A and B are shown apart, each in its own frame.
Chain A
């Protein structure tokens, strides 16, 4: 896991985010989130609300969004809970960004299945575009993190960019995706392999073939 550090509290940060408050739509959403929890357990809503706050920050600065200290304080005050408990949650889960982030947060899986399927090439392709860990590219578009298994081993290698996964990548396919993102388009999420829908075996079934046409009981063969 990459080292993460909270963006230090500074007068500039306070000036920029000190008067953070829910937008009218998010205020509605926050109320809805709160109502999902039983009376007296409202603090449990801290995780969805931090996510909501992160998305609102992201919408404001046209990035994936992150959680400046004053925003965490706002959420703490909203839920009437100690700020340190909010910070504990936000720093524990890596899906909360606790430092400024680019428009697209490219999370490349480098765990064994992806590595065997060529994640080194994917990482090299990212690096070529000026991405490096803990750094926002000069055009403000890209942030990069190498992460551990994201659970898409059947369609390795993969990257997660903001809310979407892109799987079955090669450096070329990744370039297509990133270029499309950079142009402001929304490339198709999921597998990038032509002819593959999700994670079914590419080129047709390789095992349990008899099951394609009828329900075949294998138990007698054991």
Chain B
């Protein structure tokens, strides 16, 4: 642990820290463009120059200089001030003065740092360089004249995303950042380069010229487009959500989010259910709330009522539905819309136990039936980190383009019954072995077979440092799944039990993936926000709020309870889901025991205490032994990454991504 002096104050820094990190530990701000904590060190912008003794009598790039015992670092000397002014002046030589028409304005590192560290004027009166803008696809808008060649985007795509799409071609003054032949960046996380870009060279195309950052209301939210529960900031103006940005949470999403999480929000204003509908003579007719509830009151279901929870539901809505059904005497709750019926008696057996930051440290990983890249791009990033640290990865399922290598063992679940010798050895010799069971691998005995591997090889163990390692992981696809399972939205036989009960009334809570043909004899009451598959099949539609329009509790696939805040109001006559269920209780003449959101939350916390506190829920470390044989061909559930939920399907940006990035080159045939 070297001791260094920063501006005369002695501090101790961790071994291996750079001078820049030492300065930050001492509370000094070091301006920088190319340096980023999560990327490799490039050292090419020179903005972080400081004076270091002992050393050559010139300023040194602090980001690339290791802190060493006895260094005297100055960040406030005349030399440093002049160096920063000089670097800034050079950076601005070729940077256009177009801040008034630049989308980065107001959140631009170059703008801020030139105010803070620049010399206030330029001595340059030659022509400026101009660079043609590059096509990087439907999400990233480029203005490459503004580029200062920090290469953060290049390093991101190579190191984090794992697809070498972006590069710096030509040299010197002619250097240009581009994708190969200006093809669109196709990675699921590609838009993160927009956040990384310290200037306005890469900006958001869908958000272009929409708003200035200071006009926006920032709300802390949780993403529901997949089960990772990425922490997001929802930027809204008036009643409209304009964009979504990642928040830093090292345990969940670090500081990345998937393109779907970022860009599906324009779907929040399209295809919305903004008034109640009743099916009259086979047609859905808009009605008022009182008419809708009058119609519901006549249904009189008694205990012949069931509820199906959709993929993007918050726990409060599910709890309110559970209470309503409970008051009516029914327990027919289910969240696994597509018919999965894996055993949920032990929540630890259906949880991502090692955690996202834990899976990074695994040294042998078996992935069963999960196309991680599309199902949970943020977990894919973690897997890539694990492989970089030397982990071996084996996959069961049809081959897909991984960003971390790995060996595909076969397409059939029966591989699990007798793993190849070298895989078994790799897993049994590993210090931190892990298995990840995905949505396609959990059924047909896959979960039990994986559990059996886990128990035979002791995936739950106490490590040398005394911590408990639990390498058994299930990677769910839907943001509502773990919350739903904690609230008991699971029947033994899955949704088939609901079909068998043939309920008089089926509450579809944002459920769009259900096969409603099987519920032909039920009255389907759809409570949701988008006019998608569920609404088409509904007899009564009650318009509800999307995830940005209500406070909510979400549990991600690692059992992490997180709270999301309401950013905007739901459009039109739409109401927050829990109020609809509360009003329904009145219509049915029963009492659910809560009258306000606070009541509802405390009732929920009383019933399921884990949902009352943010953080990882404790499901224990005891895994069932599993056993039995698995068999069946694996088919991944996500066919189109960009169109997995009703919001994304309504989003013009997501549709464009799907058409241009996934289905490019397919010639649309005109319907005859």
Partner-binding segment picked from B159-167, B265-273, B431-439, B655-663:
B159-167
Interface check A69, CB cutoff 8 A: yes
Interface check B170, CB cutoff 8 A: yes
Whether A82 and B164, one on each chain, are in contact in the complex, defined by CB atoms closer than 8 angstroms, is yes
Whether B167 and A85, one on each chain, are in contact in the complex, defined by CB atoms closer than 8 angstroms, is yes
* A residues less than 8 Å from B165 (CB atoms): 84
Q: Which of B152-194 contact A (CB under 8 A)?
A: 164-172, 174, 179-181
Q: Beyond A3-B174, A82-B164, A85-B164, is A69–B181 a contact (Cβ under 8 Å)?
A: yes
- CB of B156, distance to nearest CB on chain A (Å): 14
Whether A9 and B171, one on each chain, are in contact in the complex, defined by CB atoms closer than 8 angstroms, is no
Whether A84 and B164, one on each chain, are in contact in the complex, defined by CB atoms closer than 8 angstroms, is yes
- CB of A141, distance to nearest CB on chain B (Å): 27
Whether B172 and A1, one on each chain, are in contact in the complex, defined by CB atoms closer than 8 angstroms, is yes
* A residues less than 8 Å from B181 (CB atoms): 9, 69
Instruction: Specify the chain B residue showing the minimal Cβ separation from A81.
Output: B164
Instruction: Specify the chain A residue showing the minimal Cβ separation from B163.
Output: A82
Partner-binding segment picked from A87-95, A127-135, A208-216:
A87-95
CA distance A193 to B149 in the complex (A): 46
Q: Beyond A82-B164, A84-B164, A85-B164, is A91–B179 a contact (Cβ under 8 Å)?
A: no
Partner pick for B171 among A69, A83, A92, CB 8 A cutoff? A92
* A residues less than 8 Å from B168 (CB atoms): 88
Partner pick for B180 among A1, A3, A84, CB 8 A cutoff? A84
Whether B169 and A87, one on each chain, are in contact in the complex, defined by CB atoms closer than 8 angstroms, is yes
Partner pick for B170 among A4, A82, A83, CB 8 A cutoff? A4
Whether A88 and B174, one on each chain, are in contact in the complex, defined by CB atoms closer than 8 angstroms, is no
Instruction: Specify the chain A residue showing the minimal Cβ separation from B168.
Output: A88
For chain B, the count of residues having a C-beta within 8 Å of the partner chain is 13
* A residues less than 8 Å from B179 (CB atoms): 84
Whether B167 and A88, one on each chain, are in contact in the complex, defined by CB atoms closer than 8 angstroms, is yes
CA distance A181 to B534 in the complex (A): 78
Q: Beyond A9-B181, A69-B181, is A84–B167 a contact (Cβ under 8 Å)?
A: yes
Instruction: Specify the chain A residue showing the minimal Cβ separation from B170.
Output: A91
CA distance A82 to B181 in the complex (A): 13
Instruction: Specify the chain B residue showing the minimal Cβ separation from A92.
Output: B171
Instruction: Specify the chain A residue showing the minimal Cβ separation from B182.
Output: A9
* B residues less than 8 Å from A85 (CB atoms): 164, 167
Instruction: Specify the chain B residue showing the minimal Cβ separation from A5.
Output: B170
Which among B166, B167, B180, B181 has the highest number of chain A CB atoms within 10 Å?
Answer: B180
Q: Which of B385-433 contact A (CB under 8 A)?
A: none
* B residues less than 8 Å from A9 (CB atoms): 181
CA distance A85 to B171 in the complex (A): 14
Q: Beyond A83-B180, A84-B179, A87-B180, is A92–B167 a contact (Cβ under 8 Å)?
A: no
Instruction: Specify the chain B residue showing the minimal Cβ separation from A94.
Output: B171
CA distance A87 to B166 in the complex (A): 11
CA distance A9 to B164 in the complex (A): 19
Q: B432-475 CB contact bits vs A (8 Å, 1 = yes)?
A: 00000000000000000000000000000000000000000000
- CB of B555, distance to nearest CB on chain A (Å): 38
* B residues less than 8 Å from A6 (CB atoms): 169
Instruction: Specify the chain A residue showing the minimal Cβ separation from B172.
Output: A1
* A residues less than 8 Å from B174 (CB atoms): 1, 3-4
CA distance A89 to B395 in the complex (A): 34
* B residues less than 8 Å from A4 (CB atoms): 170, 174
Whether B169 and A88, one on each chain, are in contact in the complex, defined by CB atoms closer than 8 angstroms, is yes
Instruction: Specify the chain B residue showing the minimal Cβ separation from A93.
Output: B171
Q: Beyond A82-B164, A84-B164, is A91–B169 a contact (Cβ under 8 Å)?
A: yes
Partner pick for B166 among A3, A84, A91, CB 8 A cutoff? A84
* B residues less than 8 Å from A82 (CB atoms): 164, 180
- CB of A77, distance to nearest CB on chain B (Å): 13
CA distance A9 to B179 in the complex (A): 14
Whether B171 and A87, one on each chain, are in contact in the complex, defined by CB atoms closer than 8 angstroms, is no
- CB of A111, distance to nearest CB on chain B (Å): 16
CA distance A186 to B165 in the complex (A): 44
- CB of A105, distance to nearest CB on chain B (Å): 19
* B residues less than 8 Å from A88 (CB atoms): 167-169
CA distance A83 to B171 in the complex (A): 17
Instruction: Specify the chain A residue showing the minimal Cβ separation from B181.
Output: A9
Instruction: Specify the chain A residue showing the minimal Cβ separation from B174.
Output: A3
Q: Which of B239-283 contact A (CB under 8 A)?
A: none
Whether A87 and B172, one on each chain, are in contact in the complex, defined by CB atoms closer than 8 angstroms, is no
Q: Which of A1-50 contact B (CB under 8 A)?
A: 1, 3-4, 6, 9
Q: A90-133 CB contact bits vs B (8 Å, 1 = yes)?
A: 01100000000000000000000000000000000000000000
Instruction: Specify the chain A residue showing the minimal Cβ separation from B164.
Output: A82
Instruction: Specify the chain A residue showing the minimal Cβ separation from B157.
Output: A84
CA distance A24 to B378 in the complex (A): 46
Instruction: Specify the chain A residue showing the minimal Cβ separation from B167.
Output: A84
Q: B629-672 CB contact bits vs A (8 Å, 1 = yes)?
A: 00000000000000000000000000000000000000000000
CA distance A88 to B166 in the complex (A): 10
- CB of A68, distance to nearest CB on chain B (Å): 12
* A residues less than 8 Å from B169 (CB atoms): 6, 84, 87-88, 91-92
Instruction: Specify the chain B residue showing the minimal Cβ separation from A88.
Output: B167
- CB of A217, distance to nearest CB on chain B (Å): 36
- CB of B492, distance to nearest CB on chain A (Å): 49
Q: A50-85 CB contact bits vs B (8 Å, 1 = yes)?
A: 000000000000000000010000000000001111
CA distance A92 to B166 in the complex (A): 15
* A residues less than 8 Å from B171 (CB atoms): 1, 91-92
* B residues less than 8 Å from A1 (CB atoms): 171-172, 174
CA distance A9 to B183 in the complex (A): 12
Instruction: Specify the chain B residue showing the minimal Cβ separation from A73.
Output: B180
CA distance A4 to B172 in the complex (A): 12
* B residues less than 8 Å from A83 (CB atoms): 180
* B residues less than 8 Å from A84 (CB atoms): 164-167, 169, 179-180
- CB of A70, distance to nearest CB on chain B (Å): 11
CA distance A83 to B174 in the complex (A): 20
* A residues less than 8 Å from B180 (CB atoms): 82-84, 87
- CB of B428, distance to nearest CB on chain A (Å): 27
* A residues less than 8 Å from B166 (CB atoms): 84
* B residues less than 8 Å from A69 (CB atoms): 181
* A residues less than 8 Å from B170 (CB atoms): 4, 91-92
* A residues less than 8 Å from B167 (CB atoms): 84-85, 87-88
- CB of B130, distance to nearest CB on chain A (Å): 12
- CB of B209, distance to nearest CB on chain A (Å): 30
CA distance A171 to B169 in the complex (A): 36
Instruction: Specify the chain A residue showing the minimal Cβ separation from B171.
Output: A92
Which among A6, A84, A85, A87 has the highest number of chain B CB atoms within 10 Å?
Answer: A84
CA distance A82 to B183 in the complex (A): 14
Instruction: Specify the chain A residue showing the minimal Cβ separation from B176.
Output: A91
Instruction: Specify the chain B residue showing the minimal Cβ separation from A6.
Output: B169
Which among A3, A6, A85, A88 has the highest number of chain B CB atoms within 10 Å?
Answer: A88
- CB of A88, distance to nearest CB on chain B (Å): 5
- CB of B15, distance to nearest CB on chain A (Å): 28
CA distance A92 to B172 in the complex (A): 9
Instruction: Specify the chain B residue showing the minimal Cβ separation from A72.
Output: B180
- CB of B283, distance to nearest CB on chain A (Å): 52
* A residues less than 8 Å from B164 (CB atoms): 82, 84-85
Instruction: Specify the chain A residue showing the minimal Cβ separation from B179.
Output: A84
CA distance A84 to B181 in the complex (A): 9
CA distance A83 to B167 in the complex (A): 10
CA distance A82 to B162 in the complex (A): 11
- CB of A87, distance to nearest CB on chain B (Å): 6
**Knowing that A1-B172, A84-B166 are A-B contacts, what are 4 other residue pairs whose CB atoms are under 8 Å apart, sorted by A's residue number?**
A3-B174, A84-B167, A85-B167, A91-B171
- Which positions in B face A, CB cutoff 8 Å? 164-172, 174, 179-181
Leading 5 A-B pairs by shortest Cβ distance: A82-B164, A84-B167, A91-B169, A84-B180, A92-B171
Pull 13 A–B residue pairs with CB atoms less than 8 Å apart, ordered by A: A3-B174, A4-B170, A69-B181, A84-B167, A84-B169, A84-B180, A87-B169, A88-B167, A88-B168, A88-B169, A91-B169, A92-B170, A92-B171
